């Protein structure tokens, strides 16, 4: 995949935030717009920014942010006149430059793109430089296009992107030999593969009659875990078919790939709302390129805009090789929006349309488990495990989640078998070690083995409150109360609002004679809304102390707290 670096992100671009105007004639709309913008409620933000602009149509801050909200909504055509108004006032704005650049590319107005750059309406060094190359190609001037791409390649921070886009450009005009030579540049000089560039290179090799090399490329980049689109391409190449080149065929598609590439560079290193602008730009230019659609929907999901994410996912056609990925994403956003039944319906339909994809059944199992439908979840997980190959990296996790399901069904032998199967695939996996170890502690079984498991998990995840709690709790169960307090206090510091952790810490403090502190922790645990049965038990401890509660449960009292018999 493309590598990221601070310098690469810096050359991508960054929109300069304008300061709010000193006075706003429509303060209510302005404040509502700001609040909606902060909450990433783009629909409401666009509405209120528009209302504010009616009262103050030349306010640069309002214009700039109205443009950004329209882009975030995917309503770039609505953003164009606002961007024109802002530029028309004689001001510069990177978001306005982005919108007008998109409009010019979409309408093949390449001369306007050059004029804007000459007038200083820039977006960022990488975007501006590669855009010039594609604009020259749009005007039919291949010589100038190559010169522009070569200038990008000369910059060490941008070389990889220049090489990739120059290869796309050469392939788009049928120069497959030249494109293949660029993809063959040694990795030390910066060439790395994205999904798009790997597919492009494979198609180029096929056009050159080098299908075995193309198959080897896909195997090296993706291994055996290929989605349906990659699997189909791999099958065509393996069968000796001449695969057409269609990865990036036009300057508009080249720019779309550029903006999607920028979104990929920024993703995880910049705010999601900022990255979304580039994903939306890519989707606007080439809505047929599903990877940009998926990226856009995933960003909206991460911003909590589930309805918008769902609306983007449904644009993917059932005939698209990535339809299953879109439907899996759609199920996630429906569940996040509290629509569990709708999410499960999507997954039910997907098991019928894609019955051979194990990840569909695994995701269906997750959703059924979240909904408390454990018997059905167990069946879905079992179907997934039957379909996964033994070397698939996801198989351990399905054993783990099916183990949790068995545990919820009170079928401990089956749960333990699944947890140990997961560990046979991932011996030191902290989640599995913690869950299995903690469960053994709760059952009072194999405490020495449980302690070793949890110690291994804690060493791998020392900042995980739940795992550190497990370590403290197993020590408590083994009677090592002083040491248990140390770890449970650490767990409570890491996860201070977890009712179980605070309850455990209260028990350990009681065991070492710190009764007042124990009662304080139990009160804290109650304040964090524990399950009803646990809340009742905590109230009982607050009234009578831990020892009498343990005795009522048929367990030996700890006795240390009172100091008597």
Residue 393 has a pLDDT of 85
Distance CA 317, CA 537 (A): 53
Q: Is the pLDDT of residue 236 over 80?
A: yes
Give one DSSP letter per residue of 397-455, joined into a string. Answer: HHHHHHHHHHHHTT-HHHHHHHHHHHHHHSTT-HHHHHHHHHHHHHHT--HHHHHHHHH
Burial of 376 (0-12, 13-18, 19+ CB in 10 A): middle
* CB 477 within 8 Å of CB 447: yes
pLDDT number for residue 167: 95
Residue-level pLDDT at 560: 54
Q: Which two structure tokens, joined as six digits, stand for 532? A: 């009803």
* pLDDT (tens digit per residue) in 263-309: 998 988 889 999 999 999 999 999 999 999 999 999 999 999 999 99
Q: Helix 159-172 to helix 195-207 angle, to the nearest 10 degrees?
A: 40
Give, as one character, the DSSP assignment of residue 187. Answer: G
Q: What is the DSSP code string of 72-126?
A: HHT-HHHHHHHHHHHHHTT---HHHHHHHHHHHHHTT-HHHHHHHHHTT----HH
Alpha carbon distance 298, 326 (integer Å): 10
pLDDT of residue 13: 47
Q: Name the band, by pLDDT with cuts 50, 70 and 90, for residue 452.
A: very high
pLDDT digits (tens, 9 = 90+) for 85-128: 999 888 888 999 999 999 999 999 999 999 998 888 888 888 99
Within 10 A of 263 (CB to CB), how many other CB atoms are there?
26
- Which domains can be identified in the chain, with CATH numbers? 465-565 (1.25.40.10)
Could you tell me the CA-to-CA distances from 493 to 463, 489, 498 in Å, in that order? 10, 6, 10
pLDDT score, position 275: 95
Tens digit of pLDDT for each residue in 460-505? 999 999 999 999 999 998 899 999 999 999 999 999 999 999 999 9
The whole-angstrom separation of Cα 194 and Cα 261 is 9
Q: What local confidence, expressed as pLDDT, does residue 268 receive?
A: 84
Q: In terms of pLDDT, which residue wins out, 350 or 187?
A: 350
Confidence of residue 562 (pLDDT cuts 50, 70, 90): very low
Rounded mean pLDDT of 11-28?
A: 51
Please give the Cα distance from 252 to 282 (Å, whole number): 10
pLDDT at 559: 66
Nearest C-alpha neighbor of 332 from the set 358, 359, 309, 303: 309
In 3-state terms the chain splits into helix, strand, coil percentages (rounded to 5) of 70, 0, 30
Q: Which residues contact 132 (CB under 8 A, 6 or more apart)?
A: 114, 117, 148
> Running DSSP on this structure, what letter comes out for residue 25?
S
Q: Is the pLDDT of residue 22 over 80?
A: no
Tokens of 415: 């749960």
Give the predicted TM-score (pTM) of the model. Answer: 0.84
Residue 191: pLDDT band with limits 50, 70, 90: low
φ/ψ of residue 175, rounded to 5: -90, 75
Percent of the chain at pLDDT exceeding 90: 72
Question: Which range is most confident: 54-58, 450-454, 553-557?
Answer: 450-454
């Amino acid at each position: 995949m493309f590598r990221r670096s601070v310098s690469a992100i810096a050359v991508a671009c960054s929109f300069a935030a304008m300061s709010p105007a000193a006075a706003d004639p429509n303060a209510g709309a302005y404040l509502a717009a700001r609040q909606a913008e902060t909450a990433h409620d783009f629909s409401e933000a666009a509405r209120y920014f528009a209302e504010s602009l009616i009262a103050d149509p030349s306010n640069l801050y309002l214009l700039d942010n109205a443009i950004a909200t329209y882009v975030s909504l995917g309503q770039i055509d609505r953003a164009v006149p606002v961007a024109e108004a802002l530029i028309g006032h004689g001001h510069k704005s990177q978001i306005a430059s982005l919108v007008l650049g998109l409009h010019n590319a979409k309408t093949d107005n390449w001369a306007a793109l050059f004029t804007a750059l000459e007038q200083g309406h820039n977006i960022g060094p990488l975007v501006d430089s590669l855009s010039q190359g594609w604009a020259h190609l749009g005007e039919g001037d291949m010589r100038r296009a190559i010169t522009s791409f070569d200038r990008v390649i000369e910059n060490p921070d941008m070389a990889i992107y220049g090489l990739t886009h120059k290869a796309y450009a050469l392939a788009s005009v049928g120069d497959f030999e030249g494109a293949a030579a660029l993809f063959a540049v040694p990795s030390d000089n910066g060439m790395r593969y994205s999904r798009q560039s790997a597919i492009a290179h494979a198609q180029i090799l096929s056009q050159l009659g080098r299908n075995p090399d193309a198959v080897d490329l896909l195997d090296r980049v993706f291994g055996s875990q290929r989605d349906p689109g990659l699997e189909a391409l791999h099958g065509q190449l393996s069968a000796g078919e001449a695969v057409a080149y269609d990865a990036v065929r036009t300057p508009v598609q080249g720019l779309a790939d550029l903006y999607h590439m920028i979104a990929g560079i920024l993703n995880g290193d910049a705010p999601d709302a900022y990255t979304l602008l580039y994903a939306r730009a890519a989707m606007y230019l080439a809505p047929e390129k599903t990877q940009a659609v998926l990226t856009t929907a995933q960003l909206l999901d991460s911003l909590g805009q589930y309805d918008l994410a769902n609306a983007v996912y449904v644009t993917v056609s059932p005939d698209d090789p990535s339809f299953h990925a879109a439907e899996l994403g759609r199920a996630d956003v429906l569940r996040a929006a509290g629509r569990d039944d709708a999410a499960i319906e999507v997954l039910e339909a997907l098991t019928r349309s894609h019955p051979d994809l194990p990840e569909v059944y695994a995701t269906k199992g997750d959703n059924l488990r979240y909904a408390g439908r454990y018997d059905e979840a167990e069946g879905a997980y079992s179907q997934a495990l039957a379909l996964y190959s033994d070397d698939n990296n996801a198989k351990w996790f399905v054993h783990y989640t099916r183990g949790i399901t068995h545990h919820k069904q009170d079928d401990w032998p089956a749960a333990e078998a699944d947890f140990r199967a997961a560990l046979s695939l991932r011996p030191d996996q902290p989640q599995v070690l913690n869950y299995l170890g903690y469960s053994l502690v709760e059952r009072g079984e194999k405490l020495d083995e449980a302690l070793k498991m949890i110690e291994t998990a804690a060493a791998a995840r020392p900042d995980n409150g739940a795992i550190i709690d497990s370590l403290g709790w197993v020590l408590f169960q083994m009677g090592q109360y002083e040491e248990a307090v140390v770890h449970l206090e650490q767990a409570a510091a890491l996860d201070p609002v977890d009712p179980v952790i605070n309850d455990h810490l209260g028990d350990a403090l009681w065991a070492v004679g710190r009764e007042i502190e124990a009662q304080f922790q139990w009160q804290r645990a109650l304040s964090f809304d524990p399950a009803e049965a646990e809340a009742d038990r905590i109230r009982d401890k607050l009234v009578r102390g831990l020892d009498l509660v343990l005795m009522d449960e048929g367990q030996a009292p700890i006795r240390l707290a009172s100091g008597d018999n």
